[in-house]
Chain A
Amino acid sequence: MKNILLLYGLVFLGATPRLVAQEKSTQTDLRYGKYLSVSTLLDYQGSKDQGVSPLIYRGLLFGGMAELGFEGTRWDIAIDGGVGVGESSVEKVATFFSETTTFFYNGRFLYKFWEKDEGKFDFRAGLHIGGYSSQRVTPAFLNASLAWESINTLFATGKLNWRTSHEQSAGKFLFIRQRAGTRHIKFSTQLSLPMLNSAWRPDYAYIDDFSDGESDVFNNNKLQFGGLRFHWRSDGYYYLLNGNVLRFTYLWDAQRSPGEINRLELSHHQVQLGMMIRLN
């Protein structure tokens, strides 16, 4: 774990000076534009799959996200995807662990419905399609050790933005040279509430029927609609003079699968640190 953290730290610190130390952008309003984002992510997940265990497995996932987005004076559109890999365990029995690989993906489409003070505050709302698909391997569960699940949700979403700015004088922040100029900062918070939630996961017996010699873990999965899911994120943006943006994100996602039998409960507390690279 230490090595992975060190690697991420080196990659991020190595990339940062180059991305910030560029010539000033010729764009007049740096707050809006088209971006390609690359982020590193750290996810603290909790999962309780009552099909195999009444206990909550907790652990960290490490990974990355990429996003293609557009933020304009009216529209806010983004598509992102990423992956996290890690291990979780229960406190009671430290020797039992679960290896998880999770793919995250979202599409957000928001339109501005309200603004105040010439865009200092605005509220945008729309649709959010989000999901994650995971493979979990828990050797202690023997023939039920491998599980594939996919949670996908259509949300109604609302986002509140608060923009501010300050004048920066020339100087240095650590080893990063800073030019004089107006620095824009934005905070946003977005809450997504479910309209349609689905869970595709193992059926009742929670085992792949391999007595025919064909091990097909997907064969015994079932798609169900319903359940509960919440998704909330807060972002802090620091706009650089060259048009790129440093972004810090905290995201909370929690879901409960439909039905009373073999219920799956999942939560993610995710932190992302990344760079939005301006494309226009």
Chain B
Amino acid sequence: MNRGAVICFCLSLLLVSCETLIFEQEATDNPRENFDYLWRQCNEKYSFFEYKKIDWQAMNAKYAAQIKDKMTSDELFKVLFSMLNELQDGHVNLISPFRQSRFDFDLLGPENIDLRVVRENYLKNDYIITGPFQHNVVGADKKIAYVRYNSFEDRVSPAHVAYILSYYRNTQGLILDIRQNGGGSAANIFKIFNQLVSEKTLLYNSFLKSGPGKDDFAGPQPAYAEPDENRFKYGKKIAVLIDRGTFSAASFFALGAREVDNMIVIGDKSGGGLGLPNGGQMPNGWTYRFSISQTLSPAGENFENGVPPDIQVILTKSDRDRGVDTVIERAIQELK
């Protein structure tokens, strides 16, 4: 009995050592390896080099020169942060246990909303909360519905949208304000659109990176809005308000709104973020994310640098000082 156990034990040691046949050696954790790893992952998977005309090889030369063998974690983070910011993409982040990088896409244009003005003079103190939406009637004759949606992270149900449309059925039009909406769940895009469209509508097409080459994309993956048969048929014109803080899922929404007949986009161009961000990890354990897809309009237009509005309107200082939101007023004018 003992001999059998000994033989089995020795065989187990032998075969366990064969694990090195299966596992490649773990990547070395030093500043140079971490830099090379991040640069390479980005080089192979980031989806907007060609569109943004970024010479990523040149970035390697520029930032590799700043890498030193004995640099601290904080120094390494600063170099990698600077390199990733060359992509000028709000979907690009580097996350360490002590810091997180970001790109302030909303600062690329003028501030185009004053939330205090919106709350005091448009929502006022008798606004209604329906799910993630805050809404009220606006305009001198109270004939325009105003709906504020702060974040696509806030879950929408079809019932929320149906209620709002039914509540404002006697208005002349509806404003959907998604300025400074930083995005969230793409599922909420369709929960809203499916209540607004009257026929199946192609909103945009997505293309996912399928290989390490610059042009390796699979697709298109079409995104359709399909009318919910239980929807309330509102039928009036809808103005979607956007600005530089309209990002990611909100930018997708703005892109899709351009394809719906009775919808018009007003404000400043969006912050972009039309690439799906993918996450990963470096040899030192830090995590990162960056865009690994492109989303184009049905006509093939790439608006990664911002979805343009149909009507460009910028909030003026004089209006703001008077408690007037220039963008909302323009939308009211357009809907009457």
Contact surface of A with B, Cβ cutoff 8 Å: 46, 48, 51-56, 90, 92-93, 95-96, 140-145, 162, 164, 166, 185, 187, 189, 203-207, 209-213, 215, 220, 228, 230, 232, 234, 236, 250, 252, 254-256, 261, 263, 265-267, 269
Give the one of B26, B189, B279, B286 with max A CB within 10 A.
B279
Binary contact readout B239-264 vs A (1 if CB under 8 angstroms, 0 otherwise):
00000000000001000000000000
Give the one of B7, B37, B277, B280 with max A CB within 10 A.
B280
Which one of B21, B97, B223, B280 contacts A144 once the chains associate, using CB atoms below 8 Å? B280
Q: Is the CB of B206 within 8 A of A211?
A: yes
Q: Is the CB of A211 within 8 A of B279?
A: no
Residues of chain A within 8 A of B58, CB atoms compared: none
Chain B residue at minimal CB-CB distance from A162: B4
Which one of A187, A213, A228 contacts B187 once the chains associate, using CB atoms below 8 Å? A213
Given contact pairs A54-B27, A143-B277, A144-B280, A93 touches B187 in the complex (Cβ within 8 A): no
Residues of chain B within 8 A of A263, CB atoms compared: 24
Residues of chain A within 8 A of B223, CB atoms compared: 211-213
Residues of chain B within 8 A of A234, CB atoms compared: 8, 11-12
Q: Is the CB of B22 within 8 A of A256?
A: yes
Which one of A48, A143, A203, A215 contacts B24 once the chains associate, using CB atoms below 8 Å? A48
Chain B residue at minimal CB-CB distance from A230: B18
A266 to B19: give the CA distance in the assembly, Å.
Answer: 9
Q: Is the CB of B285 within 8 A of A90?
A: yes
| B29 interface residue per 8 A CB criterion | yes
Q: Which of B119-127, B170-178, B207-215 interfaces with chain A? A: B207-215
**Least CB distance, A41 to chain B, in whole angstroms:** 17
A162 to B7: give the CA distance in the assembly, Å.
Answer: 11
Q: Is the CB of A215 within 8 A of B210?
A: no
Chain B residue at minimal CB-CB distance from A215: B187
A256 to B26: give the CA distance in the assembly, Å.
Answer: 14
Give the one of A51, A140, A164, A209 with max B CB within 10 A.
A209
Other A-B pairs beyond A56-B23, A166-B1, A213-B223, 13, CB < 8 Å: A51-B280, A52-B280, A53-B280, A93-B285, A140-B95, A143-B276, A187-B4, A205-B210, A210-B187, A211-B276, A220-B208, A236-B5, A252-B12
Given contact pairs A92-B29, A254-B18, A46 touches B23 in the complex (Cβ within 8 A): yes
Q: Is the CB of B5 within 8 A of A265?
A: no
Which B58-102 residues sit within 8 Å CB-CB of chain A? 95, 97
The tally of CB-CB contacts under 8 A between chains A and B is 160
Q: Is the CB of B281 within 8 A of A55?
A: yes
A203 to B292: give the CA distance in the assembly, Å.
Answer: 12
A-B contact list, 6 entries, CB within 8 Å: A54-B282, A90-B285, A141-B280, A205-B210, A211-B204, A211-B206
A166 to B1: give the CA distance in the assembly, Å.
Answer: 10
Given contact pairs A48-B26, A213-B186, A141 touches B279 in the complex (Cβ within 8 A): yes
Q: Is the CB of B280 within 8 A of A212?
A: no
**Least CB distance, A213 to chain B, in whole angstroms:** 4
Q: Is the CB of B295 within 8 A of A211?
A: yes
Residues of chain B within 8 A of A187, CB atoms compared: 1, 4-5, 7-8
Q: Is the CB of A204 within 8 A of B187?
A: no
Q: Is the CB of A212 within 8 A of B221?
A: yes
**Least CB distance, B210 to chain A, in whole angstroms:** 5
Binary contact readout B262-284 vs A (1 if CB under 8 angstroms, 0 otherwise):
00000000000000111111111
Residues of chain A within 8 A of B285, CB atoms compared: 55, 90, 92-93, 96
Which one of A56, A213, A230 contacts B15 once the chains associate, using CB atoms below 8 Å? A230
Residues of chain A within 8 A of B330, CB atoms compared: none
Residues of chain A within 8 A of B209, CB atoms compared: 204-205
Which one of B11, B204, B281 contacts A140 once the chains associate, using CB atoms below 8 Å? B281
Which one of B23, B204, B281 contacts A265 once the chains associate, using CB atoms below 8 Å? B23
Which B268-324 residues sit within 8 Å CB-CB of chain A? 276-287, 289, 292-293, 295
Residues of chain B within 8 A of A53, CB atoms compared: 280-281
Give the one of A55, A145, A250 with max B CB within 10 A.
A55
**Least CB distance, B78 to chain A, in whole angstroms:** 19
Chain B residue at minimal CB-CB distance from A252: B15
